[in-house]
Amino acid sequence: MEISGLISAVLIGFVIGAVGRFVVPGRQHIGILWTLVVGIAAALIGTALAMVLGVANTDGVDWAEWLIQIGLAALGVAALSRMDRLS
């Protein structure tokens, strides 16, 4: 992966993680680094899932892919926040 690809992954991961965190109601007890990690993972897994479902490459904005990624990020943020409260 080139440096531009890495920077893009981090930026997209940050946006996906932030939106996923915004979607989860209440206060989340995880830091910005975990939000970034969850966002990057959600972006990568969401893209793969969108490819399997056949909605990854469409004309215009890939809304279905974004919704999958944001949903996965919200699940990840909620899971990490819940794990932090349990420990």
Note the pLDDT tens digit of each residue in 5-64.
778 878 888 899 999 989 998 888 888 889 889 999 998 898 889 889 988 777 877 888
Give residue 4's pLDDT.
Answer: 76
* Model confidence pLDDT, tens digit, residues 61-87: 788 888 999 999 999 999 988 886 655
Residue 40's nearest CA partner among 71, 12, 1 is 12
Give residue 71's pLDDT.
Answer: 93
Q: What phi and psi, each to the nearest 5 degrees, are found at residue 39?
A: -65, -45
Burial class (CB in 10 A: 0-12, 13-18, 19+), 37: middle
Residue 47's nearest CA partner among 59, 64, 24 is 64
Please tell me the pTM assigned to this model.
0.84
